[in-house]
Every structure is written in structure tokens, then in C-alpha cells.
């Protein structure tokens, strides 16, 4: 074990040893196998969270890890871990869309592996005051970081059509128009400031699905993505990874929603020369990309999924999709 055992933790959930709320890293073995950390390598964990991947990387090889997170609480946790890591862990507070600039500020311009574990951590969901969950009543906030517009601001400001688009596109909600109309009606009576009120507005117009998933799930997911500009961050993070990864380096991306997985799939297939044409979520890739030398080689056409055993022990992993690709020596595909 290369990181001190006291920091890696002997408990069933290592995050608890760092004072985290117990986020269980998803598909950890598969992510580690994809990144194949080696001594002297530089690895970037773009979504530190409670540090599950970072700790595994540090424990697997005498490598250096840069941990990025936009949430100041995750950053505080990362600093605690870094204090016991003999300078092998650097902590970078900020958005992974800016990962190139964050690394450049530390004099780093290339990495052997980059991992993303998209979305929020269990700590976000379980903390009512952050307003991510419809299970607990709290302020309608949903910001992962400390600045920017809250979900309450968006719900108060956006026109009905834009609300419907966000809820449909990011949330895969078939009743998006009905939800948007109910929100607009309700906000005319009184501002929507609490998660509980928003959840009950949505539940009134969206029927319960057969699988028993709360009707508010998809609307909350969509608003969270909009508040944190998650699609934009993902596109910028992917493009930055292409520029940062050294030839032979690996990208590992864990996505939980079909909308995000589609962005990753299209980006990688286009970079691997398998998909012609532009994507409106990827403005950098307009025209001619298929004719360029592939900058990534896909590990597999289809994403890896968690095993039945993992789903049974960590139900949150059930919708995870892991896509892995190896950087080729070709220049990054930069189309402005
Ligand atoms: C699913 S959790 C990661 C969990 C982590 N793999 C672990 O094992 O503990 C996602 C983390 O990424 C952070 N995050 C999400 N989007 C981000 C972004 N655009 N930039 C930086 N951090 C982000 C969140 O604050 C959260 O802490």
C-alpha cells in the first residue's frame, strides 16, 4: 500500500475515514483497470468527490494525482488526504471544463490518465440544505459550487418554453411541457423557493411510472444539470482531455444519464473516426472531423456497465456507463 493505510481507511467505505458522508465509488475496479496507473505517471481525477478514485490511483502506483472539484467541501476533504500523501496529490479547486488552465497553473500540460465521474456525490443528495433532493425539503438551490444562479432563480426567470426544453432534453421527461406549464402557473401565485413545493407541483402533473420512480426525479435532474451547466462542462472537459492526454494515455468517463452518455459517445466516436458530421452539443467539431487522423482509439464500442453484484451492493451504480478510450499520437482535432 503506497498511501498510508490511515488515509486510505480500513473501513468498508474508505470515504468515511476522510470525514466524507460515505459516497461509494462506482465501477472502481474497472476505472482502475482502464487507467492502468504506473509509477511516475500523472493522473487527473476531474471529479474528486470523496476521493474514491484518487485514493485507488495513489494506492496502485507511485504516481502523481491532480484532484479537481468545484465543490469547496470536496476540496477541503482532498486537502486532508493530500496532507498525508508526500506531495503526490495536488488539489485544484474549480470546474473540470477549465482543467487545462488549472493544471497549467501548476506547470502541467500532459497526463497519462484522466477520469470523470459525472454528477453529484451522495453527500450532495443527502444534504437537504443544498436542495438537490426531492426526498428532503430544503432551499431550491442545487449549485455544486458556491456561486451562480440557483434552481430557484432559474425556475423564477426562465420562460415556459425554455423550462420545457431543459426538462425534456436533460431530464428525458416526456411530460416536460405539462411540468413547465405547472411551474409557470405556480410561480405566478408565489415564488417557488423550496424543493418540497417544486416536487409537489411536478407530482401533480406527472404520473407515477411503473418502476415506482418518483415523478419529480427527472425534473430535478434536469434543473441540476442546467444550474451547473453540466452539458457545457462535459463538452469542455472532453475537449481539454483530448489536448492533455499523452499518446497512450487513457480517458475513463462514468456517466449516469443517457443525455450525458450520448455526448461522450458521440465525441469519442467522432474522435475515433467512426462518426461523421457535427454535433450541436460539440461546437468545436464542426465539419470534416471524420477526415482527420483519429485522436482516440475506443476500448470497446459499447460502454461497460456495473456487475449485478455491484448494483446489489450499491443501487446508485445501476445506471452507470463507463466509456474508455486510449489517446493516439495524432494531433487533437481542433476545429473552430
Ligand atoms: C459523483 S461525484 C464523484 C465521486 C468520486 N468519484 C468518489 O469516488 O468519491 C462527482 C463530483 O464531481 C464534482 N463535479 C461535478 N461537476 C463538476 C465540474 N464541472 N467541475 C468540477 N467538479 C465537478 C461534484 O462536486 C462531485 O463532488
Q: Domains of the chain (ranges plus CATH)?
A: 5-123+230-327 (3.40.50.150), 146-227 (1.10.150.170)
The response to whether residue 52 sits with its C-beta less than 6 Å from ligand 1 reads yes
The pick from 8, 91, 144 for probing ligand 1's pocket by mutation, whose C-beta has the most ligand atoms within 8 angstroms, reads 144
| Whether pLDDT at 121 is above 90 | no
| Whether pLDDT at 12 is above 60 | no
Nearest CA to ligand 1 atom 4: 49
316 Cα–ligand 1 center, Å: 15
Give 200-259 pLDDT, tens digit per residue.
Answer: 999 999 998 888 889 999 999 999 999 999 999 999 999 999 999 999 999 999 999 999
Q: Cα angle at 107 between 332 and 39, to 5 degrees?
A: 80
78 Cα–ligand 1 center, Å: 12
The response to whether residue 47 sits with its C-beta less than 6 Å from ligand 1 reads yes
Q: Output Rg (C-alpha) for the chain, integer angstroms.
A: 20
277 Cα–ligand 1 center, Å: 31
- State the Cα–Cα distance between residues 259 and 237, nearest whole angstrom: 16
Where does residue 131 fall: left (phi above 0), alpha (psi -120 to 50 degrees), or beta otherwise?
A: left
Range 180-185 average pLDDT: 98
> Please, what's the b/e burial string for 293-319 (b: 16 or more CB within 10 A of its CB; e: otherwise)?
ebbbbbbeeebbbbeeebeeebebbeb
User: pLDDT over 70 for what percent of the chain?
Assistant: 88
118 Cα–ligand 1 center, Å: 6
| Whether pLDDT at 48 is above 50 | yes
Give 148-179 pLDDT, tens digit per residue.
Answer: 999 999 999 999 999 999 999 999 999 999 99
Cβ-contact 320, 25 below 8 angstroms: no
Report the predicted TM-score, pTM, of the whole model to 2 decimal places: 0.90
Residue 302 pLDDT class (50, 70, 90 cuts) = very high
Residue with more model confidence, 186 or 14:
186
Burial of 194 (0-12, 13-18, 19+ CB in 10 A): middle
- State the Cα–Cα distance between residues 288 and 243, nearest whole angstrom: 18
Asked which of 87-96, 251-260, 288-297, 324-333 is least confident by mean pLDDT, the reply is 288-297
- State the Cα–Cα distance between residues 151 and 198, nearest whole angstrom: 10
Looking at every residue in the chain, the average pLDDT score rounds to: 89
Amino acid at each position: 500500500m503506497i498511501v498510508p493505510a490511515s488515509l486510505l481507511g480500513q473501513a468498508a467505505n474508505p470515504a468515511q475515514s476522510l470525514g466524507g458522508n460515505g459516497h461509494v465509488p462506482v465501477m472502481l475496479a474497472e476505472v482502475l483497470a482502464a487507467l492502468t496507473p504506473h509509477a511516475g505517471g500523472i493522473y487527473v481525477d476531474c471529479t474528486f468527490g470523496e476521493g474514491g478514485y484518487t485514493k485507488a490511483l495513489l494506492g496502485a502506483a507511485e504516481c502523481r494525482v491532480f484532484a479537481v472539484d468545484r465543490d469547496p467541501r470536496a476540496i477541503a476533504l482532498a486537502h486532508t488526504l493530500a496532507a498525508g500523501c508526500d506531495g503526490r496529490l495536488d488539489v485544484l479547486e474549480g470546474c473540470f471544463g477549465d482543467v487545462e488552465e488549472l493544471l497549467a497553473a501548476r506547470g502541467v500540460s500532459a497526463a497519462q490518465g484522466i477520469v470523470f465521474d459525472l454528477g453529484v456525490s451522495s453527500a450532495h443528495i443527502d444534504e437537504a440544505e443544498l436542495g438537490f433532493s426531492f426526498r428532503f425539503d430544503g432551499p431550491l438551490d442545487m449549485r455544486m459550487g458556491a456561486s451562480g444562479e440557483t434552481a430557484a432563480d432559474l425556475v423564477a426567470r426562465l420562460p415556459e418554453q425554455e423550462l420545457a426544453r431543459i426538462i425534456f432534453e436533460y431530464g428525458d421527461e416526456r411530460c416536460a411541457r405539462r411540468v413547465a406549464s405547472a411551474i409557470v402557473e405556480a410561480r405566478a401565485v408565489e415564488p417557488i423557493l423550496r424543493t418540497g413545493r417544486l416536487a409537489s407541483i411536478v407530482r401533480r402533473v406527472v404520473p407515477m411510472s411503473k418502476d415506482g420512480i418518483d415523478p419529480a426525479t427527472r425534473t430535478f435532474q434536469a434543473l441540476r444539470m442546467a444550474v451547473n451547466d453540466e452539458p457545457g462542462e462535459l463538452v469542455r472537459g472532453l475537449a481539454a482531455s483530448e489536448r492533455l492526454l499523452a499518446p497512450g494515455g487513457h480517458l475513463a468517463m462514468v456517466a449516469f444519464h443517457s443525455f450525458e452518455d450520448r455526448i461522450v459517445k458521440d465525441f469519442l466516436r467522432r474522435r475515433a473516426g467512426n462518426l461523421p458530421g457535427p454535433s450541436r452539443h460539440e461546437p468545436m467539431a464542426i465539419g470534416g472531423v471524420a477526415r482527420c487522423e483519429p485522436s482516440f482509439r475506443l476500448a470497446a464500442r459499447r460502454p461497460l456497465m456495473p456487475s449485478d453484484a455491484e448494483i446489489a451492493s450499491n443501487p446508485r451504480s445501476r445506471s452507470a456507463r463507463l466509456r474508455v478510450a486510449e489517446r493516439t499520437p495524432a494531433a487533437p482535432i481542433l476545429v473552430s
